[in-house]
Every structure is written in structure tokens, then in C-alpha cells.
Amino acid sequence: MHFHLKIWRQENSKSAGTFRDYEAKDIPEEASFLEMLDIVNEDLVEKGEDPVAFDHDCREGICGMCSLTINGIPHGQGRGTTCQLYMRKFSDGETIYIEPFRVGAFPLVRDLVVDRSAFDRVMGSGGYTGVRCGGAQDANDTPIAKPIADYAMDAAACIGCGACAAACPNSSAMLFVSAKIGQLGLLPQGEPGAGRRVRHMVAQMDEEGFGNCSNYYECEAACPAGISVAFIARMNRHFALASVRNAVEATA
């Protein structure tokens, strides 16, 4: 297979960037999108040119590092990561646009690589449980209703890739944040600090410069794990209750 690639090249966040034309020749249809980029980079290195910088790690759809915007779509597909996108999904001779995630809170590092450490800071602001519970106990000692356990697992499926923010016209990270808040707050270990956690994580999200949710639902459509926007509604409800409770306790 043969493809015409228009790849965003930019040396760093302070320099000007532009799309540059490349040819991907003799690409096996069973090759993944990242493997196709590997082939293109090998050709560039042989020519003495700088290879295209892009993020990748597990290449198994688990880590979310392979965050690229392909033909205007984060990861190039609705339910799956870039490394799970195969070249047979494209037509032979097709022109493919490849660019980084366009999120203000994700500064560009080089070419297709962005710094997504803003997500780490949101998690660090309140995303961990801190309950003294002694030694580990048997899981069956704390019965959890199956619907709640299943809902918590739905939230835990989030891999933190940032596709939700990249797809949102407002660059909102509310789907990611609400999934992490839901994951930790639905289970008994996370209940004691749930109010503090939701207030701190929402505040950090705002401080990082992510936009607000306007119910476009683009985040859910782009999420590789299919996280539901229902988690955003849940987070908003718990944030409002936690803020009121905190204000009352401050004046008591």
C-alpha cells in the first residue's frame, strides 16, 4: 500500500510548525499506524533526515502514549488507540493528515509529542486514597454491590490518554477527571476523602487551563475506553455538594 502523509513538524513549542509531505511506500495492510511511521522514519534516517518524533510505549492499547490526531480525529478512530489502528482501514493512495493533540494544557515538545503531565498533576492533587486500614484483608470481607463494582470498573477503564480533551472544542478534561473521581469515590476505600478529592481535582483541572464542558459529547465519542459522559454529571453533582459542605464547615 502507498500513502501520502502530511505530518506536522515542529522543533519545539517556541518555534513555528507546519505540515510537511512524506510518502509511505510498500506498507503492509496488516501494519499498525505506528509501524507505518516506523517504516517512514527508517527511510528518513537512511536519507540523513531527522525522523518524526512521536510517543509510543506498550503498543497494545493499554497505556495511551500513542496519542496522535489522524485526519482530525484523536487516535484516528472512536474506540481504540493509535497503535490499534491498522493501515487496512485506509484506502491505497489516500492522503493522511497526522498532527499532535491540540490542547492548550498539553504543551508541544516536538513534532507529534506533547507534554501531558497536566493529567498527572490533576491526579496528584487529590486522586489517591489515604485511609489507614491496617494490613490487607481478604477482598470478600468488604462486600460491594455488583452494579457499583461494575460502575467503578467502567471508570477505571480510563487510560488517561487525553483524547477526550483533544476532541473537545473547549479542550475540556472533565471526562478524564470525572472518571478518576468516580473510580476512587465509588468504592469504600475512597469514600472518606471523596469530598476533598473532588474539590481539589476540579480546582487543579481549572488551574491547568482546561476548558469547561458544554455537552458536545465529542469526548465520549473519541474515548478509546468508551467512558460515559454520565461520569461528568456525577462529578458535577458531587462537586456542588462537597463545595456547600466545605463552606458550611468553614463557617461553623
Q: pLDDT (tens digit, 9 = 90+) per residue, 166-205?
A: 999 999 999 999 999 999 888 887 888 899 999 999 999 9
Read off the pLDDT of residues 78-97 as tens digits, 9 standing for 90 and up.
889 999 999 999 999 999 99
Separation CA 53–CA 107 (nearest Å): 15
Q: What pLDDT, on a 0 to 100 scale, did the predictor assign at position 51?
A: 97
Contacts 24+ apart (CB under 8 A), 184-190: 184/127, 184/128, 184/129, 185/238, 186/148, 186/151, 186/152, 186/155, 187/144, 187/148, 187/149, 187/152, 188/142, 188/144, 189/129, 189/131, 189/133, 190/129
Q: What pLDDT, on a 0 to 100 scale, did the predictor assign at position 14?
A: 92
Q: What pLDDT, on a 0 to 100 scale, did the predictor assign at position 193?
A: 86
Amino acid letter at 87?
M
Architecture of domain 116-129+142-251: Orthogonal Bundle (1.10)
Amino acid letter at 187?
L
The C-alpha R_g of the chain, in whole angstroms, comes to 21
Q: What are the extents of the domains in the chain?
A: 3-110, 116-129+142-251
The answer to whether 3-110 and 116-129+142-251 have equal CATH topology is no
Q: Residue 7: CB partners within 8 Å, gap ≥ 6?
A: 19, 20, 22, 52, 98, 99, 111, 112
> Does pLDDT of 141 surpass 90?
no
pTM of the model: 0.90
3-110: what fold? Ubiquitin-like (UB roll) (3.10.20)
Q: What pLDDT, on a 0 to 100 scale, did the predictor assign at position 187?
A: 85
Q: What pLDDT, on a 0 to 100 scale, did the predictor assign at position 197?
A: 93
User: For residue 163, what is its C-alpha cell?
Assistant: 483524547
Confidence tier at 142 by pLDDT (50, 70, 90) = confident
